[in-house]
Amino acid sequence: MLQTVKKYQFKTLGDDRGKLIALESLSEQAPFDIKRVYYIFDTMPGTIRGTHAHKKLKQVLICVSGSCVIRCDLGDGSPVDYLLNWPDQGLLLEGLVWRDMLQFSKDATLLVLASDHYDESDYIRNYDTFLKEVARGK
Ligand code: TYD
């Protein structure tokens, strides 16, 4: 069963005027057709978002300003925290990955590139169901 969590360091383009990062569909940094973009901002201190897994959706998360932590759990009892604190970092999540998003700085804007349109039926919001799905895939 494919469960991918991969941190990217994007190539920064730029010159005297400043920096620029470009991401394209079906590229190394976004290995899927980008069908949806959303962003999370103005997050209340102490908030934990996410707390779900996806059945099929692939996502790349980029904290384009400020910082936050993405806690990734593959159902193996050892969740791993990924700090995103610079716009040249991305985190690819693919397959059954339970994710919590936390420790948002006041100025955090978390941009998400997604492989599909919003579909509530793709969410696994119950942790026990998630663990059962992981076990089933083994
Ligand atoms: P929610 O799933 O709680 O976001 P997160 O997992 O990031 O904490 O989504 C909050 C609300 O926004 C919920 O009513 C569903 C809606 N929503 C959309 O309509 N489209 C989207 O692309 C997303 C991510 C959420």
Is residue 41 within 6 Å of ligand 1 at its C-beta?
A: no
Q: Which class for 62: exposed (0-12), middle (13-18), buried (19 or more C-beta within 10 A)?
A: buried
**Atom 9 of ligand 1, nearest CA residue:** 50
Q: Residue 1: is its pLDDT beyond 90?
A: no
Q: What are the pLDDT digits (tens) for 16-40?
A: 999 999 999 999 999 999 999 999 9
Is residue 38 within 6 Å of ligand 1 at its C-beta?
A: yes
Q: How far apart are CA 25 and CA 32, in angstroms?
A: 6
Q: Residue 66: is its pLDDT beyond 90?
A: yes
Q: Does residue 52 have an active-site annotation?
A: yes
Binning pLDDT at 50, 70 and 90, where does residue 138 land? confident
User: What sign does the dihedral 91-39-58-99 (CA atoms) show?
Assistant: positive
- Rg over alpha carbons for the chain, rounded to the nearest Å, is 15
Expressed in angstroms and rounded, the spacing between residue 121 Cα and the centre of ligand 1 is 12
User: What sign does the dihedral 11-86-89-122 (CA atoms) show?
Assistant: negative
